[in-house]
Amino acid sequence: MSLLETITAPADLRALPVERMPELAEEIRSFLVSEVSKTGGHLGPNLGVVELTIALHRVFDSPRDTIVFDTGHQSYVHKLLTGRHDFSKLKKQGGLSGYPNRAESEHDVVENSHASTALSWADGIAKGRRLRGQGQRHTVAVIGDGALTGGMAWEAINNIAVDKTLPLVIVVNDNERSYAPTIGGLAEHLATLRTTRGYERFLAWGKRSLARTPFVGGPVFETLHGVKKGLKDIVAPQGMFEDLGLKYYGPVDGHDEQAVERALRQARDFGGPVIVHVITQKGRGYQPALDDVADHMHGIGKINPETGLPFEVAGRIWTDEFNDEMVRLGAERDDLVALTAAMLIPVGLDGFAAAYPERVFDVGIAEQHAVTMASGLAYAGLHPVVALYATFLNRAFDQMLMDCALHKAGVTFVLDRAGITGSDGASHNGMWDMALMSIVPGLRLAAPRDGDQVRRQLREAVDVTDGPTVIRFPKGDVAEPLEAVRQQGDVDVLFETGSGDVDLLVLGVGAFAGLAVDVGAKVAALGHTVRVVDPRWVLPVSGTVLDLAAQAGAVAVIEDNLVTGGVGAAVTVALREAGQQAPVHLHGIPKRFLHHASRGQLLEELGLTAESIVADLQTRLS
């Protein structure tokens, strides 16, 4: 039996002799490389926090003490140390989640994988327990340097710092990266902390030097000591944290397990809020991850563990279409600029950045700032393109509404990973954006059905100067081009059984256009007349859609988005306002959080397949 196999709970870990920790760390890294390479998952972040997580569970008594992981993709080691060793179905239906999950273990607290939230969670947990007479229970928040670029983290720090007796430990896991190298003023500050010997060590050196060389004279050292404040700010920039009222320990070598334990014990026993600054190396112990300058090892598919290379060559994905078209547009328009929130490569702005580096702004994990900054850029005469995962636009809704739309700012939002993404679970499904955007005045939203439409609609979007535009597309391989049989106004007709009135008008939204054509053909085969269209610009509902609906006995809307407040709901309202009474049948995602599973499994479960939709429509049309 391996050492790791003997760990079924943190108590087993604490019972091990300290000299066995390096052996355990090596076993964990070998396990992660072996198992995650079979399933896919977040490999690099977890390889970097092995010793840190071991130390956390040796010093703190989970679940009596609470450990909150920010952006929990670095929680695999935590899962192993709390007895979850079966990684065979990681991120798959019925298997372990890729993030902390309360349904899996009492040791898991925060399931949301959106960044910069852990400090607020920890602040609330620590204060709540103290109010309930449980102040002896400790709370630990583990947050990366990348997540510290998010404004919400600093809102929490601002509140934590004033409570001098709060039993809260903040572990800053500093690996200089989130998805990519951390940028900004905070990153520079942490870099200074990383590379500076530190004020206390400077004083210790001075004292030793005086002892060895008395001829230097006391006045020289006294003078140095007398300029303590200014010197400390130069030599030990932890002053920023301490000036806020937070005790600072560090920097600590995050791969020296005993050093991390000592720092955590000091922090635990301090009696107030403490920051422990731990330096780690993302991808530690696995050379392909260490060599990965593009951060492909952050989240992987199935790979060859020997080489780190994928077993299958990836096809062309939706993001590639956006990436290439942005480069072409950049050559044509010098007013085009781009913004990203610490995800330059995942959202497809790396091509634009390589060609026009001065026109790209990576703001860190700060979506709110990105949107309001984009509004300012638009006011200055530029056309900003803000590229985000669809799920992360939720975080900047107020800024889109009040800073962008209210001021009629010409900003284009490009939302990657829209709709059901599947394996990353509830917090990563991009299923909220269209419902949120449907209530924003003046906003126009496009849902391209294929790569050709991504390019075409992006060009249309950046020509709009009097309000926000949104382009949204899903994760994965891009759909094959789907040619229209004809155009009617601003709508593409994809399939029809005649030129006049029809029994059913089917609106296929975005990547579901192909599914809509399949549904239309099957309904037609049952003896109904059908027309299938791609509205292209789905919000607001166009007059052409209303005209086509007037020629149909019923309307069906198929969308990769919430039914509540989605495109189908907008079509229903628009038809009623126009005095049309045709029934509208909605096929989309129900208003609930979805468990982790493959996209196909979730679509099957939700009835978003051709067979299920046709069966439903057959009942309604008969």
Query: CA 77, 82, 88 angle in degrees (round to 5)?
Result: 65
300 pairs with which residues across the strands?
41
Annotated binding site for Mg(2+): 145, 175
Percent of the chain beyond pLDDT 90? 70
pLDDT at 357: 97
Residue (of 467, 460, 372, 470) closest to 430 by Cα position: 470
Which helix (DSSP H) or strand (DSSP E) does residue 506 occupy? Answer: strand 502-508
Q: How many CB atoms are closer than 10 A to CB 532?
A: 29
CB 519 within 8 A of CB 480: no
Please return the burial class of 197, using the count of CB atoms within 10 Å of its CB with bins 0-12, 13-18 and 19+. Answer: exposed
Residue with structure tokens 């509140």?
159
- Sign of the four-CA dihedral 384, 385, 388, 391: positive
Which residues are marked as active site? Answer: 282, 367, 395
Query: CA 463, 468, 471 angle in degrees (round to 5)?
Result: 75
Residue (of 385, 532, 405) closest to 471 by Cα position: 385
Spatial separation of the C-alpha atoms in residues 591 and 562, rounded to whole Å: 6
Token pair, residue 541, equals 């509902």
Query: In which band, very low, low, confident or very high, does the pLDDT at 191 lie, cut at 50, 70 and 90?
Result: low
pLDDT in tens, 74-128: 899 999 999 999 999 998 999 998 889 999 999 999 987 788 899 999 999 999 9
Residue 111 backbone phi and psi in degrees, to 5: -90, -25
CB 450 within 8 A of CB 316: no
**Identity of residue 122:** A
Annotated binding site for thiamine diphosphate: 73, 113-115, 146-147, 175, 286, 367
- Give the dihedral of Cα atoms 14, 17, 19, 20; nearest 10 deg: -70
Spatial separation of the C-alpha atoms in residues 439 and 434, rounded to whole Å: 9
Spatial separation of the C-alpha atoms in residues 465 and 381, rounded to whole Å: 10
Mean pLDDT, residues 59-75: 93
The residue count for the chain: 622
pLDDT in tens, 222-243: 333 444 434 344 344 455 677 7
pLDDT in tens, 143-152: 988 888 888 9
Query: In which band, very low, low, confident or very high, does the pLDDT at 469 lie, cut at 50, 70 and 90?
Result: very high
DSSP-assigned letters across all residues of 182-195? --SHHHHHHHHHHH
Residue (of 351, 346, 391) closest to 367 by Cα position: 391
β-strands 552-562, 502-508 pairing: parallel
Q: Kindly give the interhelix angle for 257-270 and 50-59, rounded to the nearest 10 degrees.
A: 40
Q: State how far the alpha carbon of 405 is from the alpha carbons of 333, 431, 440, 446, 468, in Å.
A: 23, 21, 7, 16, 6
pLDDT in tens, 418-458: 999 988 888 888 999 999 999 999 999 999 999 999 999 99
Q: Taking 70 as the threshold, does the pLDDT of residue 195 lie above it?
A: no
Domains of the chain, start order: 4-196+237-290 (3.40.50.970), 197-236 (no CATH), 318-472 (3.40.50.970), 491-621 (3.40.50.920)
Token pair, residue 106, equals 């009492």
Spatial separation of the C-alpha atoms in residues 159 and 418, rounded to whole Å: 34
Spatial separation of the C-alpha atoms in residues 22 and 257, rounded to whole Å: 8
Spatial separation of the C-alpha atoms in residues 287 and 595, rounded to whole Å: 33
Annotated binding site: 73, 113-115, 145-147, 175, 286, 367
Residue (of 416, 409, 472, 419) closest to 441 by Cα position: 409
Spatial separation of the C-alpha atoms in residues 539 and 600, rounded to whole Å: 26
Backbone Cα Rg of the chain: 28
User: Which has the higher per-residue pLDDT, 315 or 248?
Assistant: 248
